[in-house]
Amino acid sequence: MEDYQDAPESTLVAALQQEDAAAFEYFVRTFGGRALAVARRYLRNSDDAEDCIQDAFLQAFRNIEKFEQRSSLATWLHRIVVNSALMKLRSQTRLAEQSIDDLLPQFDTGECRVEPSWRFDESVETLAAKGEARRHVRDAIDSLPENYRIVLLLRDIEEYRTDETAELMDMTPGSVKITLHRARSALKKKLEPLFERDGE
Amino acid sequence: MSSHRKLKSWMFKLPTMLNCAEAEELMHDHHEGDLPANRRWRLNLHLKLCRECTSYLAAYENSIALGQSAHSDVEPADDLPDDLVAKITAAREQK
Ligand SMILES: [Zn+2]
């Protein structure tokens, strides 16, 4: 196998454009780990995540001709993986979900917020360094109702812009904003056990 | 506690004051840094007077940061297992 590791990326791209089988294998081998990790963010089932990256690599290979190298190959593939994961999610039947309403902020009849005073004894960095807290946070995101979970992943984790997310999700930018805000509020509700309550 | 909220609900009816529900609607844009100056001013005024919204916003911001850092290590050093690589390359050859 030709060594693409030390060569500029354009060498690999050129070989892929010539439908070189060894280049494709190298491409799958070196970019596959990250692609799989991204697919797993969206698809909870690991067979689905593997199918997803298989589709993504085949699609990438079919479209490599059109790849103009305005972004890196990794960024380009990332997008294809996300698209392929979203397609897969759309084709799946949804399980019954917890309603988001229970997780949204509460107001009293005078439109005053009902909220405990939180004290953050541990900084985000300290908390995030703990494996257990990280797992708790990931589980909390995973347990959000589907649309909210995906919009939160796209916007806050993958850092797609509002308009890009709107396009990927076939939503208006306005409803992306509302969905994202509710998703964040719901995540916050789920993470409250990590925060200390100041005695009132 | 409830007299505290009663006082606030009265105070937040004053002109240019936002109530908590109105403040809530600005939180997304506030976090994104997209609020126009006059709304930013009104939200900041509300936050100065409202312990609940201040507490809520801090937890909201912390949750976003926690979500981001819990997902920040998604770059696995591992390559794909050989059988999966073989499956994908075989699928290409079938096409
Ligand atoms: Zn308030």
List phi, psi (to 5°) of A13. -60, -45
End of a domain among A57, A91, A125? A91
* CATH code, domain carrying A151: 1.10.10.10
Contact list, A29 vs chain B (CB under 8 Å)? 79-80, 85
* CATH code, domain carrying A81: 1.10.1740.10
Nearest beta carbon to residue B76 from set A37, A62, A133: A37
- Ligand 1: distance of its center to the CA of A115 in Å? 9
Lowest-pLDDT choice from A59-68, B6-15, B47-56: B6-15
Distance CA A176, CA A195 (A): 27
Which chain B residue shows the shortest CA-CA distance from A197?
A: B55
Is residue B77 over pLDDT 70?
Answer: no
Residues A52, A127 within the same domain: no
Lowest-pLDDT choice from A164-178, B14-28, B53-67: B14-28
Residues A73, A109 within the same domain: no
Q: Which amino acid is at A137?
A: V
List phi, psi (to 5°) of A114. -105, 110
Taking residues B29-53, what's their average pLDDT?
A: 95
Q: What is the pTM of this model?
A: 0.88
Residues A77, A144 within the same domain: no
Residue matched to tokens 């005695």: A199
Contact list, B34 vs chain A (CB under 8 Å)? none
Is residue A28 over pLDDT 90?
Answer: yes
Is residue A49 over pLDDT 70?
Answer: yes
Instruction: Select from A65, A1, A71, A66 the least CA-distant residue to A29.
Output: A1
Taking residues A53-67, what's their average pLDDT?
A: 95
What is Dmax (Cα atoms) for chain A? 70
Residues A66, A139 within the same domain: no
Residues A187, A144 within the same domain: yes
DSSP state for residue A59 in the 8-state scheme:
H
pLDDT of residue A200: 52
Predicted interface score ipTM higher than 0.90:
no
Taking residues A29-44, what's their average pLDDT?
A: 92
Q: Which amino acid is at A99?
A: S
Contact list, B47 vs chain A (CB under 8 Å)? none
Residues A73, A118 within the same domain: no
Taking residues A150-176, what's their average pLDDT?
A: 96
Residues A27, A84 within the same domain: yes
Q: Which amino acid is at B31?
A: H
The structural domains of chain B, with segments of one domain joined by +, span 3-94
The string of DSSP letters for B26-84 reads HHHHHHHT---HHHHHHHHHHHHH-HHHHHHHHHHHHHHHHHHHHTTT----PPPPHHH
Taking residues A89-99, what's their average pLDDT?
A: 80
End of a domain among A43, A70, A91? A91
State which H helix or E strand residue B2 sits in.
Answer: helix B2-11
- The answer to whether A144 and A152 are in contact (CB under 8 A) is yes
Taking residues A96-105, what's their average pLDDT?
A: 87
Q: Is A24 on the interface with B (CB under 8 A)?
A: yes
The pLDDT mean for chain A works out to 92
Q: Is A116 on the interface with B (CB under 8 A)?
A: yes
Contact A115 B56 (CB under 8 A): yes
The answer to the question of residue A18 being in a domain is yes
**Total structural domains within chain A:** 2
The answer to the question of residue A76 being in a domain is yes
Residues A144, A192 within the same domain: yes
Residue matched to tokens 């309403």: A101
Contact B65 A124 (CB under 8 A): yes
Query: Binning pLDDT at 50, 70 and 90, where does residue B74 land?
Result: low
pLDDT of residue B2: 64
Min Cα distance B34 → chain A (Å) is 12
Residues A87, A106 within the same domain: no
Distance CA B39, CA B37 (A): 6
End of a domain among A65, A91, A117? A91
Contact list, A185 vs chain B (CB under 8 Å)? 60
Taking residues A40-54, what's their average pLDDT?
A: 93
Taking residues A33-59, what's their average pLDDT?
A: 93
Q: Which amino acid is at A193?
A: P
* Degrees, nearest 5: CA angle B23-B68-B20: 10
Distance CA B28, CA B34 (A): 8
Exposed (0-12), middle (13-18) or buried (19+): which is A90, by Cβ within 10 Å? exposed
Which chain B residue shows the shortest CA-CA distance from A51?
A: B88
A114 bridge partner residues: A106
- Ligand 1: distance of its center to the CA of B57 in Å? 10
Query: Binning pLDDT at 50, 70 and 90, where does residue A2 land?
Result: low
pLDDT of residue B8: 77
Is residue B61 over pLDDT 70?
Answer: yes
Query: Binning pLDDT at 50, 70 and 90, where does residue B95 land?
Result: low
Residues A195, A105 within the same domain: yes
pLDDT of residue A121: 84
Contact list, B23 vs chain A (CB under 8 Å)? 113
Min Cα distance B40 → chain A (Å) is 17
The count of other CB atoms within 10 Å of the CB of residue A104 is 15
The answer to the question of residue A150 being in a domain is yes
The answer to the question of residue A189 being in a domain is yes
Taking residues A7-24, what's their average pLDDT?
A: 93
The answer to the question of residue A1 being in a domain is no
Which chain A residue shows the shortest CA-CA distance from B58?
A: A118
Distance CA A159, CA A157 (A): 5
- Using one digit for the tens of pLDDT, what is the confidence trace for A121-161? 888 888 888 888 899 999 999 999 999 999 999 999 999 99
Query: Binning pLDDT at 50, 70 and 90, where does residue A67 land?
Result: very high
The count of other CB atoms within 10 Å of the CB of residue B17 is 15
Return the exposure string of B32-45: e unless at least 16 CB atoms fall within 10 Å of the residue's CB, then b. Answer: eeebeeebeebbee
The answer to the question of residue A168 being in a domain is yes
Nearest beta carbon to residue A115 from set B12, B55, B75: B55
Is residue A73 over pLDDT 70?
Answer: yes
Taking residues B20-27, what's their average pLDDT?
A: 95
- The structure tokens listed for A6 are 């030390």
- The answer to whether A49 and B74 are in contact (CB under 8 A) is no
Residues A82, A119 within the same domain: no
- Using one digit for the tens of pLDDT, what is the confidence trace for B4-19? 777 777 777 777 889 9
- Ligand 1: distance of its center to the CA of B53 in Å? 4
Residues A117, A73 within the same domain: no
> What is the span of the domain harbouring residue A134?
101-199
